[in-house]
Structure 1
Amino acid sequence: MTTMGKGAAARRWLRPAMMAFAVACIAAGPAVAQSDKMAPIAIPAQPDAITLNTAPLPDAKAQESWHSQYGSVFARNVTTATLTPFLPDPAKATGAAVIVAPGGGFRTLSMQNEGWDVARALAAQGVAAFVLKYRLNQTPSDMAEFAKPAGPAATPSPRATPEERMAGIAPMIADSRAAFALVRSRAAEWKIDPDRVGMVGFSAGAMLTLATELAGQDAKPAFLGLIYGPLAAVKVPAGAPPLFVALAADDPLFANAGYGLIESWTAAKRPVEFHLYEQGGHGFGMYQKATTSTGWFGDFSRWLAMHGYLKPKAA
């Protein structure tokens, strides 16, 4: 089911909605005792990053920059997409792989808390992980300008249709598809089973993860992990993969709009697991907190094990 380019009405909804969503994401923060002050930093060395074969973002004027905030590091104004491998010890490798999509409202990417730290934890369990630094919507180059409120802090409707959400993220979906193509093209080199490549995403990255499946083209994730993303109902593609969802009940963005996505997957008789934690807010990622949301990664790991991804595939 290809849903990109659904017309002017969707695009009119998406522009203000995505801006409000990004503002709300920044305002929500990770709900931990970390400084919310944004401090510019040098672009970190990324020697293992592989440039994807998607075109640089058209008409981009602001250059990529990075900053620290909430005890993590964030990329901004990404115009060229990359994929960074985190490969397991060959003695522990299971042959499974996960593409990791950090969040940030499509304006930033939480590269450490929702990217590198997740990938390292997966690799430690024998699963090859690949952090996707996808192209982003442009923001002011000047940090002070970027930090100013971009408009009303109202969030977009959590009940917005997937078509509406997908209409404005075609470049990001293209980056995700390119990531799957790259991993599968080098599967033999990286000792990966091309049929066991899944995806996990956080917030906006969760939107991208779901959109990658709903776009119905060539990515075909083996499994999906959506961590504090929207839960609007969808038309589930035939043969949709197993779905893992984690959300905090006090998430300020997506906790009070029903569970249509879960109901959709269940109605389609596709495997789905849903964890609703009492507390955790938005953006908890790999932060260690005094809430049960911190256990999401252990729950996700047990779910991967249940589906056979934490051991080599039986001959």
Structure 2
Amino acid sequence: MTRRGEMMFRKFLLALMAPLFAALAVAQTSEMTRVPAQIDAGAIPLYDGQAPGSDGSDIKEIWTNAGTERWVRNVTQPTLLPVLPDEGTATGAAVIVIPGGGFQFVSIDNEGYPIAEWLAGQGVAAFVLKYRVMETPAPEDDFSVHMQRMFSPTPETEPIDVSTGIPLAVADAQAALKIVEARSAEWGIDTGRIGLLGFSAGAITSLGVVLDDSDAPHPDFIGYIYGPMTAVDVPADAPPMFAALAANDSLFGNQGFGLVESWMGAGGSAELHVYESGGHGFGSYKRGVTADGWFDQFMRWMNAQGLLETAEPE
């Protein structure tokens, strides 16, 4: 990201980082337990050797059960997991799925694996991005204290600058785009129909990729699921955006819709769905609330955009 793009993005972040971690208080120490890491045989490393910008320290990846889902912490070796549709149903479209987690963990179960399976079931080549996150204390009890410090800081504790985790996530999303584009023929993908679908911190990451004014790859469309709604300076070539948010979202439900307004004001295409209920982090959960329908509406939007038209890959 160029300096101008980084400054613009950081200005945007200042408006949203204060409330960002309030929703992470859902996990109690007694609920969090260490579980074995899932080994995805088909996962593709994003980089050869050490990831650029990493310090090379010997940090171990941790998988923690938070009660209803697993969180992947201390990721230093990012990967991309292909979840491909059956050949007979493949549309040629592709989506890189970017889970949330406040840049402290990757919400792999709620906003990763199931979302990719849903997409593949609709003929869309899906790719789960396990991106680099900020280091957190290894013991689950200490991790819980760390999270408390983030969303309930005291004058005696030094604040944690969570924005430092964003550039690595954005770089990993850009690397993922490069891989999908480079192997598009192998996977039967149309290089003009490769998008990002981000949740919360993943939505922030997706937006960062769009706002980057360097020559790094950009998506052809984005799904922006319960991300912040603060207005930004939108580039003239911004891709079509599908945005979804619950009105009772504890983080971003009362921000207005400046992001969508600025998107459309710049001449971009945007569709916004605001659900009466669903809270923050509805993802793949089915809880009998109106937000349960977001995925079906996302697929209808993709179809209306001409993204699901079966065609020979370029």
- Is the Cα–Cα contact under 8 Å of residues 246 and 276 in structure 2 kept in the other structure? yes
CA-CA distance at 1:153 after TM superposition: 2.7
The one-letter amino acid paired with 1:90 is E
> Measured at CA, do residues 154 and 246 of structure 1 come closer, stay the same or move farther in structure 2, by a change above 3 Å?
farther
Distance apart, 1:197 and its partner CA: 0.3
Find the residue that maps to 2:65 and give its secondary structure: strand
Which one of 8, 22, 37 corresponds to residue 43 of structure 1?
37
With structure 1 as the length reference, what TM-score do the two structures score? 0.87
Superposed displacement of residue 168, structure 1: 5.0
In structure 2, the residue matched to 1:223 is 221
In the alignment, what sits opposite 1:108? 105
What code does the residue aligned with 1:109 have? V
Cα distance in 1 for residues equivalent to 2:227 and 2:57:
27
Residue-by-residue CA offset, 1:49-91 (whole Å, 9 max, x unaligned):
1000133732545311001224222100001110000001011
8 Å Cα contact 2:6/2:212 also seen in 1:
no
The answer to whether the 8 Å contact 1:40/1:68 transfers is yes
Moved more, 261-270 or 126-135: 261-270
User: Is residue 96–residue 197 contact of structure 1 (8 Å, CA) maintained in 2?
Assistant: yes
Root-mean-square deviation (Å): 2.7
Give aligned pairs, total.
297
Partners in 2 of 1:36 and 1:213 — Cα distance?
39
Q: 1:56/1:234 Cα in 2 relative to 1: closer, same or farther (>3 Å)?
A: closer
Distance across 2 between alignment mates of 1:172 and 1:150 = 23
- TM-score, structure 2 normalization: 0.87
Give, in angstroms, the shift of residue 143 of structure 1: 1.0
Residue 303 of structure 1 corresponds to which residue in structure 2? 301
1:77 is the counterpart of 2:74: yes
Distance in 2 between the 1:300 and 1:26 partners? Answer: 26
| Alignment deviations for residues 110-133 of structure 1 (CA, whole Å, 9 cap, x no partner) | 101101100000001110000100
Structure with higher RCO (Cα < 8 A, 6+ apart) = 1
Matched residue, 1:123: 120
> How far 1:313 sits from its partner (Å)?
3.7
For 1:57 and 1:78, how far apart are their aligned partners in 2? Answer: 11
One-letter amino acid of the structure 2 residue matched with residue 94 of structure 1: T
Q: Give the letter for the 2:44 counterpart.
A: I
1:4–1:242 CA distance, 2 compared to 1 (3 A)? closer
Instruction: Tell me, in whole angstroms, the C-alpha distance in 2 between the residues paired with 1:36 and 1:210.
Output: 35
Are residues 165 and 108 of structure 1, via their aligned partners in 2, closer, same or farther at CA, if it must alter by over 3 Å? closer
Relative to structure 1, the CA distance from residue 62 to residue 21 in structure 2 (aligned partners, 3 Å threshold; closer, same or farther) is: farther
Which residue does the alignment assign to 1:237?
235
- For structure 2, which runs of at least 5 residues remain unmatched after alignment? 154-160
Aligned equivalents of 2:30, 2:95: Cα separation in 1: 30
The reply to whether residue 197 of structure 1 matches residue 197 of structure 2 is no
Report the Cα offset of residue 289 of structure 1.
0.9
Q: Is the 8 A contact 2:61 2:74 kept in 1?
A: yes
- Opposite residue 6 of structure 1, the aligned amino acid is M
Matched, 1:293 2:294: no
Paired residue secondary structure (2:288): coil
Question: Which residue number corresponds to residue 157 of structure 2?
Answer: none
CA displacement, residues 107-165 of structure 1 (integer Å, 9 cap, x when unaligned): 0111011011000000011100001000000100111100124326369xxxxxxxx99
1:176 maps to 2:176: no
Q: Give, as a single letter, the amino acid of the residue that structure 2 aligns with 1:118.
A: I
Task: Determine helix, strand or coil for the equivalent of 1:226.
Answer: strand
Q: Are 1:21 and 2:20 counterparts?
A: yes
2:132 to 132, 135, 140: 135
Q: Which amino acid aligns with 1:39?
A: T
User: Partners of 2:165 and 2:34 in 1: how far apart?
Assistant: 28
d(CA) in 1 for partners of 2:75, 2:222: 24
Q: Residue 182 of structure 2 aligns with which residue? A: 185
- Cα offset for 1:98? 0.3
- Opposite residue 57 of structure 1, the aligned amino acid is S
Whether the 8 Å contact between 2:190 and 2:312 is mirrored in structure 1 is no
> What is the alpha-carbon distance in structure 2 between the residues aligned to residue 70 and residue 165 of structure 1?
24
Deviates more, 1:230-239 or 1:127-136: 230-239
Find the counterpart in structure 1 of residue 7 from structure 2: 6
Q: What CA distance in whole angstroms lies between the structure 1 residues aligned with 2:305 and 2:134?
A: 36
Q: Which residue of 1 aligns with 2:90?
A: 93
Matched position secondary structure for 1:233 = coil
Alpha-carbon spacing, 1:167–1:137, altered in 2? closer, same or farther (3 Å): closer
